[in-house]
């Protein structure tokens, strides 16, 4: 089936004229139509636009010299502003906002020939780890436990993108990662998710959650596909002052590179009760398996220490809400989005609009962020958190003097069921415990599926690299992927259980 | 001379510090490419960044940084090679993003100094605490609709320099002199047009009072957004009187933000300390620290124009003119340039007298600025040349000047047209002298009898007889000889 192909395979097939871009796109728009009612991976679908673009892709392909992603159908997280296509951030407050501009990342993908199938679901404003806070309904993880029909969460916040890619409702998708929003859903859905170095991809035109952490990245079914997509997405953008002017290599070339002599660090702190994993559980076994694979591939496995790891989550839940409380101030109902009716004053307008427009989790984080920045609390919370963040960054700098890449679990557990959602938000935040430290330090990191747990759910391992050294994590990731031989597919996917 | 206010319980001193907001002269806004032009249709100079659209990011405008650094250099201030932008968070309809990007902890410019001149000829140094860059807000329009308010974002995001003084100011006069001097420096540098009427310069005035200079500062009030130098001075006087009355009646001045109402001649409370906003400042994560190179700062310094104090001192030295005249002539760059053009190669003191006297008088009368003076510097210089070569005397010059003002003709043409050329022919002058003395034999007797002051009478009569065109030196000489 065309929907079973990887991006690399499809790109080759298109060039060999084995099928057309229109056929490839049609296969995907059909899959979306068949599955989205249940999976709810997309908030907005644009099949007509996609097919129109596919026709153009076919003529580009006939003319030769087509860029890498020509004719490849992708899902776009609904946090990227797309010109003329409604962009919601999965929030009621933005309402039917149709941006008159295209985010830099999606513009680059379009220039590279990609075809957009629609806008994928997410936690409201990317705040969440289970895709349970979307104003457009939850996403169903295409995977299910053996002999158990419970609906599982796809992870979050890029849960729609992860589910779409896992269910073959897109060949790849964009995600954004603030504290794990690409990597954790990738792990939950058995796909590859790559969060690049902070500053690798432009943030311009992407709706902000926490500016010092937000980073766009690819979500795909293979490491090679992630490399292909990242090559198209990355690069300097003068419109984003935090976007680095660092040359973009051909990341795909890093796939299959020899790992001989590469030093792989195993952070000791990641194996502890604090990290919400239980001794002897499957994720720890998968981690050991991963280390063994890399050792056999010629890597040197070295224990490293990241002593401030235990403070990362707490620090993250100060800094990210602080930034979000400010970033989300612009949603006031004045210039765009939904404005509350019947306001009696300006303050009343703000209160009504924002109370009705934001969901509970977003409101919680705005309140937390407002609190930690307030006079009298700033020093104790925000400033302290910034200092701890510096220490966390130093941990990584020091570790990377000894090793080239770190190997850790991506999440403490496999996907949990929607009705197992913890009541305590802090329990929910623990899902990000392995992914947050790399975010705090701006390191590139990737989740690669390596195994299934005893219930048949996918587990991912995380590779964390040096700043702007995505090539090494891609090289290691592709070796890990190959040796792990992860070929399992979810029961709910295109052409299987429509 | 120190300024004090007599209260019922004794003498009070006032303590004033100013925060001046000066709109930076730049083509585009501080963080967006939108135009800064004043007076466009509402919302015609607004980018998506200014309007706070989702996903929009600020990018610093290098030209605004350059203007801030040049201003810092003009204020003899420390240039901070690394500074930072912070977000000042508050909700208001004229603030689309819900935060103003400003510099809180690490401003681009540190301490500096402005020297002011007072009416008694003394000077004082007023310390500058800091200068930082920040965005202006938009404008609310309440007069367009009976029920609704409208928002114009043309000004939103325009760069402002907030220039904060030390609490060094001790009188309304000093405050006025400070704002005038600051405006003069900014105009020389071309970093702010200083138009307070258009709002491109406005001041927040911090006022407190105390019994003596040795007493610590008492609670201050901040008077927001005062938009003329006269109002700054009035507001200080009125606010100081209010505070003295409170202290003297046993009360306590509350720290608060107040508004000055020039119509009622009072200041009114805007918000108390308890209602003060908590701005939740934090470093803007969308912007990297602002780093400038010393070499670039040096280059900007080399490109600075001569500033008013230096120019004044040079005028005194180079042209031998009094300090007061020099200060008047350097008030504006254009006046100074005009003067230098007139004085070049001529009697510089005479040039100063004509510019500050007749020319300023004429400009005042006709409500014109030096830029659209009906008499160009070259034309005035031409007239001075005719005086220097004795073609005309001072008296005729006044007549020629008035004619130039009216017709725009050159002095030479006017002299030619009107036949005003000075008579230096001693024969004609001698004849006129003889005639005057013959007709006033009685006065001649009196003069010879010791009434010296009649000499002037004879000079006047001779000049009159010669229609003012006689060379006064020759007339004097001829009279002395005969008398």
Q: Residue B258: what are its φ and ψ, rounded to 5°?
A: -125, 165
Pairing of strands B221-226, B99-102: unpaired
A85 interfaces chain B, CB cutoff of 8 Å: no
Which single residue is written with the structure tokens 């995380």? Answer: A462
Question: pLDDT tens digits, residue range A198-225?
Answer: 999 999 999 999 999 999 999 999 999 9
Percentage of chain A lying above the pLDDT 70 cut: 98
- Interhelix angle B472-482/B426-439, rounded to 10 degrees, is 50
Most B CBs within 10 Å: which of A326, A351, A355, as the mutation test of the B interface? A326
Three-class DSSP category at A448:
strand
Amino acid B463: pLDDT:
84
Q: Are B285 and A369 in contact (CB under 8 A)?
A: no
The reply to whether residue B278 touches residue A97, judged by beta carbons under 8 angstroms, is no
CA of A350: which chain B residue's CA is closest?
A: B91
* Residue that the structure tokens 């990290």 belong to: A275
pLDDT tens per residue, range A185-200:
999 999 999 999 999 9
Q: Who among A80, A204, A373 is closest to B57 (CB)?
A: A204
Sequence-distant (≥ 6) Cβ neighbours of residue A161 within 8 angstroms? A41, A75, A77, A120, A122, A170, A173, A174, A175, A185, A219
Count of domains for chain A:
1
Rounded to an integer, the average pLDDT of B210-216 is 91
How deeply is B270 buried, as exposed, middle or buried, from its count of CB atoms within 10 A (0-12, 13-18, 19+)?
Answer: middle
Q: Is the pLDDT of residue B348 over 90?
A: yes
Nearest to A81 among B54, B58, B99 (CB): B54
**Region of A298 on the Ramachandran plot (φ > 0 left; ψ -120 to 50 alpha; else beta):** left
Q: Is the pLDDT of residue A299 over 70?
A: yes
Whether A146 has its CB under 8 Å from any CB of chain B: the answer is no
Which is it for strands A458-465 and B123-135: parallel, antiparallel or unpaired? unpaired
pLDDT single digits (tens) A95-121:
889 999 999 999 999 999 999 999 999
Burial of B273 (0-12, 13-18, 19+ CB in 10 A): exposed
So what's the pLDDT on residue B36? Answer: 93
Residues B337 and B455 in one domain: no
Q: Which of A454-463, A468-477, B420-429 has the lowest mean pLDDT?
A: B420-429
For residue A321, name the pLDDT band (cuts at 50, 70, 90): very high
SS (H, E, C) chain B: CCCCEECCCCEEEEEEEEEEEEECCCCECCCCCCECCCCCCCCCCCCCCCCCCCCCCCCCCHHHHHHHHHHHHHCCCCECCEECCEEEECCCCCCCCCEEEECCCCCCECCEEEEEECCCCCEEEEEEEEEEEEECCCEEECCCCCCCCEEECCCCCCEEEEEEECCCECCHHHHHHHHHHHHHHHHHHCCCCCCCCCCCEEEEEEEEEECCCCCCCCCCEEEEEECCHHHHHHHHHHHHHHHHHHHHCCCCCCCEEEEEECCCCEEEEEEECCCCCCCCCEECCCCCCEECCHHHHHHHHHCCCCCHHHHHHHHHHHHCCCHHHHHHHCCCHHHHHHHHHHHCCCCHHHHHHHHHHHHHHHHHHHCCCHHHCCCCHHHHHHHHHHHHCCCCCHHHHHHHHHHHHHHCCCHHHHHHHHCCCCECCHHHHHHHHHHHHHHCHHHHHHHHCCCCCHHHHHHHHHHHHCCCCECHHHHHHHHHHHC
Domain span holding position B258: 5-300
Which pLDDT does position A278 carry in this prediction? Answer: 59
Strand-strand pairing, B112-117 and B150-152: unpaired
Measure CA B216 to chain center: 33
Distance CA B64, CA B102 (A): 13
**Among B418, B435, B451, which residue terminates a domain?**
B418
pTM assigned to the model:
0.91
**Is the domain of B328 the same as that of B461?**
no
H/E run at residue A265: strand A263-267
Please count the CA atoms within 13 angstroms of the CA of B102 that sit on its side-chain side: 23
Residue B1 has pLDDT above 60, yes or no: no
DSSP annotation string for A450-470: EEE-TTS-EEEEEEEE-TT-H
Please name the residues in contact with B380: beta carbons below 8 A apart, sequence gap of 6 or more: B342, B351, B354, B355, B359, B404
* Strand, coil or helix: A123: coil
Instruction: Give the helix/strand (H/E) hosting A22.
Output: helix A21-39
Nearest Cβ partner for A207 among B54, B58, B99: B54
> Could you tell me the two tokens for B381?
């210089």
User: Domain of B473: which CATH number?
Assistant: 1.10.10.410
Residue A428 in this model has a pLDDT that exceeds 90: no
Lowest-confidence region among A48-52, A459-463, B210-214, B439-443 = B439-443
Q: Using 50, 70 and 90 to split pLDDT, how confident is the model at B102?
A: very high
Disruptive mutation site among A243, A332, A362 for chain B (greatest number of B CBs within 10 Å): A332
- Show residues of chain B in contact with A390, CB under 8 Å: none
pLDDT of residue A275: 61
- Segment A249-265 shows an average pLDDT of 97
Q: Note whether B252 and B130 are same-domain residues.
A: yes
Whole-angstrom distance, CA of residue A271 vs CA of residue A384:
26
Residue B200 shares a structural domain with residue B120: yes
pLDDT in tens, A327-357: 999 999 888 888 898 899 999 999 999 999 9
Report the distance separating Cα A374 and Cα A314, nearest Å. Answer: 18
Q: Are residues B270 and B204 in the same domain?
A: yes
Q: Do B57 and A99 touch (CB under 8 A)?
A: no
| Residue to substitute from B282, B283, B287, interface A, most A β-carbons within 10 A | B282
How many A×B Cβ pairs under 8 Å?
A: 99
Alpha helices in A374-469 (DSSP H): 384-402, 425-429, 436-441
C-alpha to C-alpha distance for A445 and A474, rounded to whole angstroms: 9
Which of A285-289, A454-458, B80-84, B459-463 is least confident? B459-463
Mean pLDDT confidence for B354-358: 95
Q: What is the dihedral of CA B25, B31, B36, B42, to 10 degrees?
A: -150
Is residue B199 domain-shared with residue B331, that is, in the same domain? Answer: no
Length of chain A: 498
% of chain B beyond a pLDDT of 90: 77
Q: Which domain holds residue A324?
A: 1-498
Whether residues B309 and B228 fall in one domain: no
B141 touches chain A (CB under 8 A): no
**What are φ and ψ of residue A370, in 5° steps?**
-65, -40
Question: B220 at the A interface (CB within 8 A)?
Answer: no
Q: Give the whole-angstrom CA distance, residue B291 versus residue A395.
A: 27
In angstroms, the separation between the Cα of residue B145 and the nearest Cα of chain A is 16
Q: How many domains does chain B have?
A: 3
Rounded to a whole number, what is the distance in angstroms from the first to the last CA of chain B? Answer: 53
Please tell me the predicted confidence (pLDDT) of residue B60: 98
CATH number at residue A480: 3.90.1300.10
- CA dihedral sign of residues A324, A329, A330, A333: positive
* Residue B207 pLDDT grade (very low, low, confident, very high; cuts 50, 70, 90): very high
Catalytically active residues of A are 77, 157, 181
Q: What is the mean pLDDT of residues A423-436?
A: 84
In terms of Cα–Cα distance, which of B138, B281, B156, B96 is closest to A330?
A: B96
**How many residues are there in chain B?**
483
Average pLDDT, chain A: 95
Q: Is the dihedral of CA B132, B133, B137, B138 positive or negative?
A: positive
Query: Does B58 share its domain with B80?
Result: yes
pLDDT at A498 (0 to 100): 43
Average pLDDT rounded to a whole number, residues B256-278 = 89
Which tens digits make up the pLDDT trace of A36-88?
999 999 999 999 999 999 999 999 999 988 999 999 999 999 999 999 999 99
pLDDT at A316 over 70: yes
- Cα radius of gyration rounded to whole Å, chain B: 30
Flag whether pLDDT at B467 surpasses 50.
yes
Is the same domain home to B79 and B159?
yes
Least confident of A436-450, A484-498, B154-168: A484-498
- Whether residue B240 sits in one domain with residue B363: no
What confidence tens digit (pLDDT) does each residue in A270-279 have? Answer: 887 656 555 5
Q: Averaged over B369-389, what is the pLDDT?
A: 93
pLDDT of residue A273: 65
pLDDT for A455: 92
Interface of B with A in 272-311 (CB under 8 A): 278, 280-282, 285-288
Task: State the ipTM, two decimals.
Answer: 0.95
Whole-number pLDDT of residue B420: 78
Other C-beta atoms within 10 Å of B96: how many?
Answer: 26
Q: Do A350 and B97 touch (CB under 8 A)?
A: no
B377 with B456, same domain? no
Q: Give the domain-ending residue among B284, B300, B316.
A: B300
Q: Do A87 and B54 touch (CB under 8 A)?
A: yes
Q: Is the confidence at residue B168, as pLDDT, over 60?
A: yes
Question: Which residue from A204, A238, A346 is facing B93, i.e. has the nearest CB?
Answer: A346
Of A238, A322, A347, the CB nearest to B282: A322
Same domain for B386 and B467 = no
What pLDDT, on a 0 to 100 scale, did the predictor assign at position B198? 86
> Considering Cα of A392, then A397, then A403, then A407, what sign does the dihedral take?
positive
The domain boundary residue, chosen from B244, B267, B300: B300
């Amino acid at each position: 089936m065309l929907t079973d192909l990887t991006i690399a395979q499809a790109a080759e097939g298109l060039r060999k004229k084995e099928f057309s871009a229109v056929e490839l796109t049609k296969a995907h728009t059909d899959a979306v139509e068949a599955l989205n009612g249940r999976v709810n991976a997309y908030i907005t679908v644009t099949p007509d636009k996609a097919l129109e673009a596919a026709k153009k892709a076919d003529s580009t392909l006939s003319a030769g010299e087509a860029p890498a992603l020509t004719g490849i159908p992708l899902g776009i997280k609904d946090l990227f502003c797309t010109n003329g296509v409604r962009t919601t951030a999965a929030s009621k407050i933005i309402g039917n906002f149709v941006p008159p501009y295209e985010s830099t990342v999606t513009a680059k993908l379009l220039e590279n020939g990609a075809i957009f199938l629609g806008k994928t679901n997410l936690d409201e404003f990317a705040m969440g780890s289970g895709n349970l806070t979307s104003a457009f309904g939850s996403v169903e993880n295409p995977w299910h436990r053996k002999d158990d029909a419970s609906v599982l969460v796809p992870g979050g916040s890029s849960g729609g993108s992860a589910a779409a890619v896992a269910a073959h409702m897109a060949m790849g998708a964009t995600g954004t990662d603030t504290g794990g929003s690409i990597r954790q859903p990738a792990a939950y859905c058995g796909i590859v998710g790559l969060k690049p170095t902070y500053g690798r991809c432009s943030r311009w035109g992407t709706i902000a959650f926490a500016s010092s952490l937000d980073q766009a990245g690819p979500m795909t079914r293979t490491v090679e596909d992630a490399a292909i997509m990242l090559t198209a997405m990355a690069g300097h953008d003068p419109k984003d002052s935090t976007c680095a002017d660092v040359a973009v290599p051909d990341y795909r070339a890093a796939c299959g590179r020899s790992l001989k002599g590469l030093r792989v660090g195993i952070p000791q702190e990641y194996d502890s009760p604090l990290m919400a994993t239980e001794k002897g559980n499957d994720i720890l076994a998968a981690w050991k398996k991963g280390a063994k694979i890399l050792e056999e591939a010629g890597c040197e496995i070295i224990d490293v220490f990241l002593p401030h790891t235990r403070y990362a989550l707490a620090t993250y839940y100060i800094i990210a809400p602080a930034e979000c409380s400010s970033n989300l101030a612009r949603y006031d109902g004045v210039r765009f989005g939904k404005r509350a009716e019947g306001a009696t004053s300006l303050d009343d307008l703000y209160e009504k609009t924002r109370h009705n427009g934001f969901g509970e989790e977003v409101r919680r984080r705005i309140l937390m962020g407002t609190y930690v920045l307030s006079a009298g609390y700033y020093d104790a919370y925000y400033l302290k958190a910034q200092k701890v963040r510096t220490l966390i960054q130093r941990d990584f700098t020091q570790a990377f003097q000894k090793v080239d890449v770190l190997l850790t679990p991506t999440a403490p557990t496999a996907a949990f069921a929607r009705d197992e959602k913890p009541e305590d938000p802090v329990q929910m935040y623990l899902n990000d415990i392995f992914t947050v430290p790399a975010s705090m330090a701006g390191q590139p990191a990737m989740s690669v599926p390596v195994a299934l747990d005893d219930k048949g759910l996918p587990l991912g391992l995380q590779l964390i690299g040096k700043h702007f050294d995505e090539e090494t994590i891609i090289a290691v990731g592709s070796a890990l992927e190959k040796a792990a031989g992860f070929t399992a597919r979810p029961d709910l996917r295109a052409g299987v259980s429509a | 001379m120190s300024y004090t206010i007599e209260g019922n319980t004794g003498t009070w001193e006032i303590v004033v510090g100013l925060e001046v907001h000066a709109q930076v002269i730049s083509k585009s806004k501080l963080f967006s490419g939108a135009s800064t032009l004043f007076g466009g249709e509402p919302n015609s100079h607004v980018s998506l960044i200014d309007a706070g659209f989702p996903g929009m990011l600020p990018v610093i405008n290098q030209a605004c940084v350059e203007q801030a650094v040049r201003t810092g250099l003009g204020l003899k201030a420390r240039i901070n090679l690394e500074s930072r932008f912070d977000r000042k968070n508050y909700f208001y309809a004229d603030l689309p993003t819900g935060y103003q990007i400003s510099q809180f902890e690490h401003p681009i410019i540190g301490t500096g100094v402005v020297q002011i001149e007072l009416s008694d000829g003394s000077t004082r140094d007023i310390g500058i605490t800091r200068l930082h860059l920040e965005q202006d807000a938009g404008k609310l329009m309440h007069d367009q609709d009976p029920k609704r308010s409208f928002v114009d974002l043309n000004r939103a995001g325009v760069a402002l320099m907030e220039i904060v003084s030390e609490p060094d100011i001790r009188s309304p006069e000093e405050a006025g002199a400070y704002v005038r001097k600051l405006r003069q420096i900014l105009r020389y540098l071309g970093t702010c047009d200083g138009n307070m009427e258009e709002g491109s310069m406005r001041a927040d005035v911090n006022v407190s009072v105390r019994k003596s200079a040795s007493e610590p500062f008492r609670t201050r009030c901040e008077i927001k957004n005062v938009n003329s130098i006269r109002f700054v001075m009035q507001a200080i006087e009125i606010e100081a009187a209010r505070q003295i009355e409170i202290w003297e009646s046993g009360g306590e001045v509350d720290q608060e933000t107040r508004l000055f109402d020039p119509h009622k001649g009072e200041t009114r409370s805007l918000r108390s300390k308890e209602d003060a906003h908590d701005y939740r400042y934090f470093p803007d994560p969308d912007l990297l620290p602002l780093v400038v190179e010393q070499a670039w700062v040096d280059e900007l310094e080399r490109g600075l124009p001569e500033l008013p104090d230096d120019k004044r001192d040079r005028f005194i030295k180079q042209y031998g003119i009094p300090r007061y005249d020099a200060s008047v002539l350097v008030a504006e760059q254009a006046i100074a340039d005009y003067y230098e053009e007139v004085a070049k190669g001529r009697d510089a003191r005479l040039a100063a007298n004509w510019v500050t006297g007749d020319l300023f008088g004429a400009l005042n009368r006709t409500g014109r600025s030096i830029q659209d003076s009906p008499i160009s510097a070259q034309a005035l210089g031409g007239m001075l040349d005719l005086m220097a070569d004795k073609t005309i005397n001072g008296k005729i010059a006044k007549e020629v000047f008035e004619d130039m003002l009216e017709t725009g003709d050159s002095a030479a043409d006017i002299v030619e047209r009107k036949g005003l050329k000075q008579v230096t022919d001693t024969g004609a002058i001698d004849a006129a002298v003889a005639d005057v003395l013959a007709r006033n034999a009685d006065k001649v007797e009196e003069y010879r009898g010791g009434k010296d002051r009649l000499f002037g009478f004879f000079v006047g009569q001779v000049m009159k007889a010669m229609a003012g065109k006689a060379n006064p030196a020759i007339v004097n000489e001829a009279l002395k000889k005969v008398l």
